[in-house]
Structure 1
Amino acid sequence: MTHAPMSAPVPPGPAPVRVLRSPVGLSHAVTVLLGLVIVADLLIIAASFNMRALTGRVASGGAGVLGEAEVNRADYAMFGSGVLYSIALVATGTLFIIWFHRVRGNAGVFAPDTQRRTPGWAIGSWFVPIANLWIPRGVAADVLRASQADPYAGELQHRGLLNAWWGAWVWAVVFDRYASRTYARAEDVEAVHEAAALVMTSAGFDIVAAVLALLLVRRLTAAQHTKALAPR
């Protein structure tokens, strides 16, 4: 019985080379879409203010001066602004995560030993229930550290902006769910009047979160761009 000759073990190939990829173009696109989110929020505020004015007139006994067309316009304004916001939010969230993954990849080139989680967490962490309330913030903190001039310095630059953005975003998400459900369940005039105020307030919180997100995107992108161009 003959045996086939044993082949020599194949040496492992070279480790993949990590390269920097510019986040500048993505940051510009994210900035534009965040601006669209803010515009949609402003439209929601205007529609909610109009709805409160209309329901206030009804509650005060001025319903006789209201026409069906006016009521329909108020409903369409609430619905239309909500649809525009949803579209803008999905588009912005998608592009923001792509940008987030890009800057996380660059952080792995700048200072890989400062990254506590793999690049996949820059995407997956947003979709893990409960854990998405803190893991993305941790990934962002690691990316910020790797992107600063001295990743091993004790102080983390822009920590205040990071914490403000994350706190505002979590609060805006939680309050928006409460306000949206309250408005959807409102049946009488008084309930709609009060719920519209919650929707208006929720849009205000969302504007704050969007502005802080915009500032974070710009500053982190600028930090990585500056570090990539710095002589080594």
Structure 2
Amino acid sequence: MTQGLPTYGVRGIGLAASIAVGVTTLFFLLAELFPIYGRVLVQQAADDRDADKLLGAVLVELALTVPFLLAYVTAAVLVVIWTWRARKNTDVFPGALPSMGAGWAIAGWLVPFVNFVVPARVVANIARDSLRRGTGGLVALWWIAWLVFSVGERVVDMKDEVAAVRLPESPSTDADFQAYVDHYQQMVGRHLVPALACLVAAVAFIVLVQRISAAQQDRIARATPAWSIVPGMQLPPGTPGMPAHPQPVTAPSPQVQAGATPVSPPAPPGSDGTIGA
């Protein structure tokens, strides 16, 4: 690990992003499959000659679209945060060679036309520097499916809008109601490819997020002691930044006072001596 650079937790945000992507995909698939149910409703309206049931189909479609948009925005925010954190973590990994700055982990999703290429490059670099094994195939599968979904869905929506303008505003005849039945029938076929691409992109991205998050958290945990280090503390062998084998510690030798000259005690006076003589 490169000393002095911060690391960021990615397991929690990665799990949240994965759940948000999964929920968004579920709502999208329900919205894409709605034309099947819409065709049933307009067929009933045609059989009963009741135009009000056509309005019911529109309301059901709106009820599915609103939660999808909310989930989509939530997932987008979480994915951007996760991408930025994962990219910043690679700055501290030994041997990592990121080819794009961390700012592109955010700007790459937002800049028009750039977002057709840059997010894939950023995630590919993150996967390479985090997993240390080939993940190019999974990244390519995710990004190709994402492009098919995002571009294909826009094309399909434009075709739906053009077709909807041609529908009679106040259906009353069998031909009018049949036009609505045909419209929903055609929508089923048009939305099949974007729906499948969305499912593939979501699964591939969730797998990438979980693998990268687990690998990064493992590397961060192995490089970070599980206790606080205080001055003078003896660390066990294998601690990051410490030698593999402890160095012998020699206790200081006791200090010996030098320069003291032994003095013999005075001899006691003899018995024949005189005091004060």
- Amino acid paired to 1:213: F
Paired residue for 1:172? 149
Question: Following TM superposition, where does structure 1 have runs of at least 4 consecutive aligned residues deviating by more than 2 angstroms?
Answer: 52-55, 64-70, 187-193, 199-205, 229-232
Aligned to 1:3: none
Q: Is 1:115 the counterpart of 2:98 in the alignment? A: yes
Partner of residue 59 from structure 2, selected from 76, 79, 83 = 76
**Is the 1:51–1:196 contact (alpha carbons within 8 Å) kept by the matching residues of 2?**
no
Q: Check the 8 A contact 2:33/2:188 in 1, yes or no.
A: no
Match of residue 223 from structure 1? 215
Distance 2:95 2:111 in 1: 24
Gaps of 5+ in 1: 1-15, 151-155
* Correspondence for 2:261: none
Could you tell me which runs of 5 or more consecutive residues in structure 2 were left unpaired when the two chains were aligned: 168-178, 224-239, 241-277
Give 3-state SS (helix, strand or coil) of 1:114's partner: coil
Size of the aligned set, in residue pairs, is: 207
Deviation of 1:72 after TM superposition, in Å, equals: 2.1
1:69 CA displacement: 4.3
Confirm or deny: 8 A CA contact 1:176 1:202 kept in the other structure: yes
Q: 2:46 aligns with which of 63, 71, 76?
A: 63
* 1:211 partnered with 2:194: no
Q: 1:195 is matched by which residue type in structure 2?
A: M
Give the TM-score, by structure 1 length: 0.80
Give the secondary structure class of the aligned counterpart of 2:8: coil
Q: Which structure has the highest helix share of the two?
A: 1
Q: Is the 8 A contact 2:87 2:105 kept in 1?
A: yes
Deviates more, 1:135-144 or 1:96-105: 135-144
Change (3 A) 1:178 1:146: same
Please say if 1:22 is aligned against 2:22: no
Check if 1:182 corresponds to 2:169.
Answer: no
- What is the CA–CA distance in structure 2 between the aligned matches of 1:73 and 1:112, rounded to whole Å? 59
Percent identity for Structure 1 against Structure 2: 26
> Compared with structure 1, are the counterparts of its residues 66 and 159 closer, same or farther at alpha carbon in structure 2 (3 Å cutoff)?
farther
- TM-score, scaled relative to structure 2: 0.68
| Superposition RMSD in Å | 2.3
Q: Give the Cα separation in 2 of the matches to 1:134 and 1:182.
A: 26
Are residues 110 and 192 of structure 1, via their aligned partners in 2, closer, same or farther at CA, if it must alter by over 3 Å?
A: same
